[in-house]
Amino acid sequence: MISVSPSGDEVRPIRITAPGRNPLDVTRAELTALVHESRMYLMRTFPAPSVGSLSDSSG
């Protein structure tokens, strides 16, 4: 599980911790960019299912 907490560092005040990894201290801008890139990666890797697809309801 990934956790986000204060780092205590004035320059990079946010700490991201993940199992098996060293903690990563980031700025708010870096965290925002990381979240954005993660979402874009997931959208490219796992496209959303089609909503409102055509169905055969002529029955």
- Using a cut of 0.85, tell me whether the model's pTM lies above it: no
Q: Is the pLDDT of residue 53 over 70?
A: no
Rounding to the nearest 10 degrees, give the CA dihedral for residues 22, 4, 7, 19.
-20
What is the predicted pLDDT for the residue at 40?
93
| CA gap 51, 59 in Å, rounded | 21
Domain edges within the chain: 3-45
| CA gap 9, 22 in Å, rounded | 16
Residue-wise pLDDT for 7-43, tens only, equals: 999 999 999 999 999 999 999 999 999 999 999 999 8
**What's the whole-number mean pLDDT along residues 1-6?**
95
